[in-house]
Amino acid sequence: MYSHLVAECLDCGHQASYSPKDSTCPNCGGGWREARYDYKSIGEKLLKELPARPFDIWRFHDLLPISEHQPIISMGEGGTPLLKATNLGSMLGIPYLYIKDERQNPTGSFKDRQASITVASLKEAGITETVLASTGNVAISYSAYTSRAGIKLWAFLTSLVPSEKMREVAIYGTQVIKVTASYDQTKKLAAEFAEQRQQGSYLDRGVRSIPALESMKTMAFEISEQLTAALGPPDSDTDLSQVPWRVPDWYIQAVSGGMGPVGVLKGFEELREMDLTDRIPAAASIQPAGCAPMVHAWKQNLDVAEPVLSPRTHIATLATGDPGRTYTLLRERMLRGGGGTFESVTDEEAFRAIHVLAKMEGLSMEPASAVAFAGLIKMVRSGQIKPDEVVVVNMTGHTMPVEKTILGEGWVQDIEIPEKPPEEKPEEGLLSALSRITPKRYSSVAIVDDHPHARRLIRRILQSQGEYTIFEASNGREAVELAQKEELDVMVLDLMMPEMDGFSVLDALKTDEKTASIAVIVVTAKTLTSAEKARLRGRIHSLMQKGEFLDDELVEEIDSLLQNESN
Ligand SMILES: *Cc1c(COP(=O)(O)O)cnc(C)c1O
Ligand SMILES: [Zn+2]
């Protein structure tokens, strides 16, 4: 049934035939094994057959430890889009930024890959009852798939898991056990429980489970195929090897236990084995600062991570304090592959990234996913990610629903329609209610930039964060005319424009009494010489470097100018 793969022991190298019921090496008894396939022949077969196969996780069934090609419990998992993040990319100055949108899986996170393949495998093995510990999303995914497969699920959840997620687990008929303890302790409790129940009950073994690790690698396959469609095959002038598929320079993911990046790197290794690609990307694994055992170990060059006993983060999904051997395996894979790094970010940086992605790209994600994006921003700013590199960030999960603490106060404007007095026309009540949320005059801001995309980006930033009357000018001459004609409060000015550049616009504004008091914020991609800086000194309110500020920073700058003015 499973003759297309073997299970290789990571300790003694012994290869045994694979069966979903065996979890240890018959030679040494070790519990850490990985699947191996006949890569060369599968690679050739894939190139021929892929065009006719549907784009979902089962597209790569030749490389999965499942005997069915399209299990009936499938709900269309995998095959998620690779989105180009044009707005965030131009804000950060990295044009080749892509987002693997794993929110579009059936239960809203990339754990559906793991659940679909693992549960299909449990079903093939005739298992009827399963026990797992989870920080939330694994329990939700497994609940949905075990329900379709007719398998009973016991989910041990740490009490840190938001109650919205606990209810989502319960709706599928899962037995929910809420454990007031850390995630690591919850895991031990679940293991003991499974031990006691014995017959037919299967304990989810996380990264040591072959189906689970195999599920994660499918993201690498999809990313390569999608990047090739987006950017074309690798350039054979510079690449002598002439492989058909592309590999990104970076794969970035928020990690808890670390199964995602281990699996994804295994996927890239397999693509190379099949001669479909010739490189392994650098992996960046991002953790919240309050629970970052892998980051500490990496920075100290240790191959074993020291557990964090009491994680201090509000992001429950990422609260694995003890990554165990998974860290060691991930580090080994990185060192023999494309390298990479581990970084930490604060909860606040992650919450801020939620707002940035929702407002700039229309993508609403959960705090755990945002940790990866906060890491991306940090790595671009520190220069670890270069402007011409191809970057893929995993948007691992959807926010459902947005937690209170992230949105804060003042996110809704209430309108109450008063009971209408009999003599009044009904519309009047409506209009007077509306007039209360619409002031008479907004501050007016002019955006001056010769690139339409840059103007649109700044317009979008302003519109998403507040109310302004916005004017646009596409060159220096138009900007000066606009300033003469309208009562501008603030001008957001680009420096490098054809004909009349930003410096000359400033000269013109300052020599005319009517326009001399307009507050100017220069936004530029140019690195300024000291002579150029001297030309700006005292004449502008601030200088913002493109790619180095986030949306809310620009708005804060504008609002502070407007406040000064009204004082
Ligand atoms: C599980 C999870 C992670 C962490 O993934 P690992 O690879 O298991 O460390 C990140 N984000 C979300 C939304 C998750 O559910
Ligand atoms: Zn062994």
3-state secondary structure 212-253: HHHHHHHHHHHHHHHHHHHHCCCCCCCCCCCCCCCCCCEEEE
How many whole angstroms separate alpha carbon 65 and alpha carbon 36?
10
CA 87 / ligand 1 centre spacing (Å): 25
Give the ligand at the shortest distance from the Cα of 30. Answer: 2
Report the alpha-carbon distance of residue 20 to residue 37 in Å, rounded: 16
- C-alpha distances in angstroms, 554 versus 240, 328, 447, 457, 466? 45, 42, 12, 12, 12
Q: Are 375 and 407 in contact (CB under 8 A)?
A: no
Which ligand 1 atom is nearest residue 396's CA? 13
Give the DSSP per-residue string, 336-389: HTT-EEEEEE-HHHHHHHHHHHHHHHS--B-HHHHHHHHHHHHHHHTTSS-TT-
With a 6 A CB cut-off, is 254 part of the ligand 1 pocket? yes
Ligand 1 in reach of 137 Cβ (< 6 A): yes
pLDDT at site 201: 72
Q: Is the CB of 366 under 6 A from ligand 1?
A: yes
Q: How far is the CA of 232 from the centre of ligand 1 (A)?
A: 30
**Omega within 30 of 0 (cis) for the link into 261:** no
* Stated length of the chain: 567
Confidence (pLDDT) at 464: 79
Domains of the chain, first to last: 82-107+210-395 (3.40.50.1100), 443-566 (3.40.50.2300)
Enter the DSSP assignment of 109: B
pLDDT in tens, 172-194: 999 999 999 888 899 999 988 88
Q: Which atom of ligand 1 is nearest to the CA of 207?
A: 8
Whole-angstrom distance, CA of residue 325 vs CA of residue 33: 12
Whole-angstrom Cα distance, residue 154 to residue 162? Answer: 18
Which residues lie below 8 Å from residue 551, measured CB to CB, with a gap of 6+? 91, 355, 356, 359, 360, 461, 464, 465
CA-to-CA distance for 227 and 390, rounded, in angstroms? 9
User: b or e along 314-342 (b: 16 or more beta carbons within 10 Å of the residue's beta carbon)?
Assistant: bbbbbbbbbbbebbbbbbebbeebbebbb
- What Å distances lie between residue 67 and 54, 71, 211, CA to CA? 18, 9, 12
**Nearest listed ligand to the Cα of residue 264:** 1
What local confidence, expressed as pLDDT, does residue 430 receive? 63
pLDDT along the chain (567 residues), means of 10: 95 96 94 97 95 96 95 96 96 95 98 97 92 94 95 92 89 92 90 80 85 98 97 73 91 97 98 96 98 98 96 93 96 97 97 94 96 97 96 93 68 64 62 63 91 89 84 96 94 93 95 93 89 91 83 84 67
Q: How far is the CA of 330 from the centre of ligand 2 (A)?
A: 19
Q: What is the pLDDT of residue 51?
A: 94
**Atom from ligand 1 closest to the CA of residue 320:** 9
Q: Is the CB of 108 under 6 A from ligand 1?
A: no
Q: How far is CA 113 from CA 46, 118, 145, 321, in A?
A: 20, 8, 10, 23
- For ligand 2, the distance from its centroid to the CA atom of residue 31, given in whole angstroms, is 8
Q: Are 311 and 296 in contact (CB under 8 A)?
A: no
Ligand nearest to the CA of 16: 2
| The pLDDT value given to residue 461 | 85
Q: Is the CB of 208 under 6 A from ligand 1?
A: no
Q: Is 255 in the pocket of ligand 1 (CB under 6 A)?
A: yes
Round to whole Å and give the CA distance between 474 and 485: 16
114 Cα–ligand 1 center, Å: 11
Determine which residue's CA is closest to atom 15 belonging to ligand 1.
Answer: 137
Q: Is 260 in the pocket of ligand 1 (CB under 6 A)?
A: yes
**Does 256 sit in the ligand 1 pocket, CB within 6 Å?**
yes
pLDDT digits (tens, 9 = 90+) for 484-519: 999 999 999 999 998 899 999 999 999 999 999 999
**Residue with CA at minimum distance from ligand 1 atom 12:** 396
Q: Is the shortest distance between the CB of 476 and ligand 1 below 6 Å?
A: no
138-172 burial, b at 16+ Cβ within 10 Å, e below that, comes to: bbbbbbbbbbbbebbbbbbbbebbbeebbebbeeb
396 lines ligand 1 (CB under 6 A): yes
Q: Which residues surround ligand 2, an ion (CB under 5 A)?
A: 9, 11-12, 14, 25, 27-28, 30
Centre of ligand 1 from the C-alpha of residue 263, in Å: 12
- Closest ligand 1 atom to 137 CA: 15
**Ligand closest to CA 12:** 2
How confident is the model at residue 460, as a pLDDT? Answer: 85
Mutate to test the pocket of ligand 1, among 107, 109, 209 (most ligand atoms within 8 A of CB): 109
CA dist 128 → 203, 214, 307, 541 (Å): 12, 22, 34, 68
